[in-house]
């Protein structure tokens, strides 16, 4: 965990005005993890955002935020607080950029955005039955029923090719056929090139859309800075009681949770999958589409390039698209392996953005002491935690009483680092763990503890509909499959940087204040 940055927000400051103006009808909600505290002079201070930061509010900004909390639009908040809409828009832009507030759409399903300005592109290969299910869901969903649909058959085998063509005609879609597969990135690019609408929605053939998903994603385009929006990918309902389905329902790498987020590298939500993605056409063309050299991870690269070009990417968990998860043990393991094979290539394109763990040297020292399994080591760990807790309040200078907040953040930071280390033991460093276990009894105990304790805690948090032993076993299969793909990627590309931990200086010495 890194120390929170300090900044100030003033809705009346002329220097804070942002040209990326938001419409007066825009609404926001405060992020669920945001806390409000008092500064030295009794002024309100917010603690929250992604990454965590402190933001001191002027009296006017505080009044505006309270008006926005009550569900008022930007125009209504400006009127009630007697400030200009431009100033309110500037304040909200800063809060959006910092992850302290998120867009709020109370009537997204009844909005006026026309589906005629959206084309749905569906890449498919050898999934005729699944394609039929997807196209049916598109036609029966009110917000997509009139959308133009382009299906790109990316080199399907002969026995599936004719079925796909028949389905496309029956669902009144447009078919583009490739004799040889271009891969998912190439198929999406070709489909996008055949569109003429202002927005493009990409949906994979093994998905099923739900009513209202597209309208809710399109609502984000009220913000002129938003160029890419992703819905939440949830597990498709199934009558099967296969343990893999229960596991994927709570631990799929496609499901990024129930909290809205701005998507960016090293953030809480660092990527979104292209299984379902809505993109502004002009942004897609500016970015040059998906990278066709990547057959896995092309969606991660796309959203990271969007961030580099100052296009905001949003994750909208209120919009759902269901995914048909794999319930074959081999397919499950193989897919996790494939996901990881993109890591070294992504690191070449975006250096330093795919570390296996982000941790402070204080946490490394504390957990190394615990891992030593000696009284001296445990004493050292206690000392490190105490020292970091004593130093951390200096980083919370905007608070009147930083001590209790600092203690809570320190404990939370060290515990979070412990869970990261436990996960990395199997997910990133399994070969090293095995070697260490052959040499040291203490290493074997650490490996066993991380395999059991950390995953049992994860079971408690996620509450899957299965017994703990099965969950832990599948989680270990998940981690070891991913680790194999990660190391294969690093070895074949001769790039070991994805195995290097990212060490952040916490509490650190340098000042992190940012005045405005």
pLDDT, tens digit, 9 for 90 and up, residues 368-405: 999 888 999 999 999 999 988 888 888 888 888 888 99
Give the start-end residues of each E strand in 33-147.
35-38, 44-48, 53-57, 101-103, 118-124
End-to-end CA distance of the chain: 25
CA 305 to CA 497: how far, in whole Å?
A: 20
Instruction: Give the whole-angstrom CA distance, residue 338 versus residue 222.
Output: 36
Contact 66, 20 (CB under 8 A): no
Alpha-carbon distances, residue 8 vs 46, 54, 94, 173 (angstroms): 10, 8, 10, 52
- Residue 375 CB partners (closer than 8 Å, separation 6+): none
C-alpha distance from residue 137 to each of 68, 353, 372, 375 (Å): 36, 37, 56, 61
pTM, to two decimals:
0.91
pLDDT of residue 12: 52
Task: Kindly report, residue by residue over 292-311, the tens digit of the pLDDT.
Answer: 999 899 999 999 999 999 99
pLDDT of residue 510: 37
Which 3 state secondary structure label does DSSP give 5?
Answer: strand
Rg (CA), the chain: 25
Apex CA 481: angle with CA 432 and CA 275, to 5°? 135
Instruction: Return the pLDDT at 277.
Output: 97
pLDDT < 70 regions, the chain? 1-19, 107-115, 239, 505-516
Pairing mode, if any, of strands 358-359 and 502-503?
parallel
Cα gap 326→500, rounded to integer Å:
31
228: β partners: 279, 313
Output the pLDDT for position 97: 92
Q: Shortest CA distance to 505 belongs to which of 392, 424, 419? A: 392
Q: What is the DSSP letter of 439?
A: H
pLDDT at site 512: 34
**pLDDT at site 515:** 32
Which two three-digit tokens encode residue 461? 């948090």
pLDDT at 357: 93
Least Cα distance to 101 among 203, 244, 189, 223 occurs for: 223
Q: What does DSSP assign to residue 150?
A: E
CB 233 within 8 A of CB 255: yes
d(CA 456, CA 471): 8
Q: Where are the beta strands (DSSP E) in 214-335?
A: 226-235, 261-262, 276-280, 312-323
What is the structure's pLDDT at 9? 65
Tokens of 36: 């409000």
How far apart CA 386 and CA 396 sit, in angstroms, is 17
Q: Give alpha helix (H) positions in 49-100.
A: 59-69, 74-81, 85-97
Phi, psi at 177, each rounded to 5° = -120, 135
In angstroms, the CA 126 to CA 136 distance is 17
pLDDT at 42: 84
Three-state secondary-structure class, residue 208: strand
């Amino acid at each position: 965990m890194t120390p929170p940055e300090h900044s100030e927000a003033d809705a009346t400051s002329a220097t804070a005005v942002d040209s990326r103006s938001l419409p007066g009808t825009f609404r926001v909600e405060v992020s669920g993890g945001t806390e409000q505290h008092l500064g030295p002079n009794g002024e309100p201070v917010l603690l929250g955002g992604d990454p965590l930061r402190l933001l001191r509010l002027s009296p006017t900004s505080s009044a505006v935020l309270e008006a926005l909390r009550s569900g008022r639009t930007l125009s209504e908040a400006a009127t009630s607080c007697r400030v200009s809409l431009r100033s309110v828009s500037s304040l909200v832009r800063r809060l959006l950029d910092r992850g302290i507030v998120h867009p709020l759409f109370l009537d997204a399903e009844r909005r006026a955005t026309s589906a005629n300005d959206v084309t749905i592109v569906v890449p498919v290969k050898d999934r005729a039955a699944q394609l039929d299910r997807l196209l049916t869901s598109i036609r029966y969903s009110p917000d997509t029923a009139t959308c133009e649909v382009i299906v790109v058959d990316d080199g399907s085998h002969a026995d599936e090719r004719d079925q796909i063509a028949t389905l496309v005609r029956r669902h009144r879609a447009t078919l583009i056929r490739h004799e040889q597969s271009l891969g998912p990135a190439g198929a999406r690019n070709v489909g996008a090139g055949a569109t003429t609408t202002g927005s493009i929605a990409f949906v994979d053939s093994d998905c099923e859309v739900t009513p209202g998903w597209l309208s809710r994603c399109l609502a984000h385009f009220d913000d002129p800075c938003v160029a890419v929006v992703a819905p939440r990918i949830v597990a498709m309902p199934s009558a099967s009681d296969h343990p893999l389905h229960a596991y994927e329902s709570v631990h799929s790498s496609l499901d990024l949770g129930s909290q809205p987020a701005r998507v960016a590298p090293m953030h809480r939500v660092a990527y979104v999958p292209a299984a379902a993605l809505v993109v502004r056409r002009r942004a897609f063309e500016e970015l040059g589409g998906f990278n066709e050299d990547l057959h896995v991870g092309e969606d991660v690269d796309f959203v990271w390039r969007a961030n580099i070009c100052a296009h905001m990417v949003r994750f909208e968990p209120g919009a759902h698209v269901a995914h048909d998860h794999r319930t074959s043990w081999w397919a499950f393991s193989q897919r996790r392996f494939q996901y990881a094979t993109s890591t070294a290539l992504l690191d070449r394109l975006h250096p330093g953005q795919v570390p296996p763990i982000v941790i402070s040297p204080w946490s490394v020292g504390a957990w190394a002491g615990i891992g030593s399994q000696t009284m001296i080591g445990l004493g050292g760990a206690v000392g490190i935690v105490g020292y970091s807790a004593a130093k951390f309040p200096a980083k919370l200078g905007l608070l009147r009483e930083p001590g209790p907040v600092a203690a809570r953040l320190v404990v939370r930071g060290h515990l979070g680092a412990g869970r990261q280390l436990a996960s990395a033991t199997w997910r990133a460093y399994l070969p090293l763990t095995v070697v260490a276990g052959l040499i040291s009894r203490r290493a074997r105990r650490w490996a066993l503890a991380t395999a059991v304790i950390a995953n049992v805690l994860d079971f408690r948090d996620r509450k899957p509909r299965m017994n703990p032993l099965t969950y832990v076993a599948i989680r270990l299969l998940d981690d070891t499959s991913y680790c194999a793909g990660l190391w294969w990627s690093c070895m074949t590309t001769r790039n070991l940087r994805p195995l290097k931990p990212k060490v952040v200086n916490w509490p650190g010495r340098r000042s992190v204040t940012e005045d405005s």
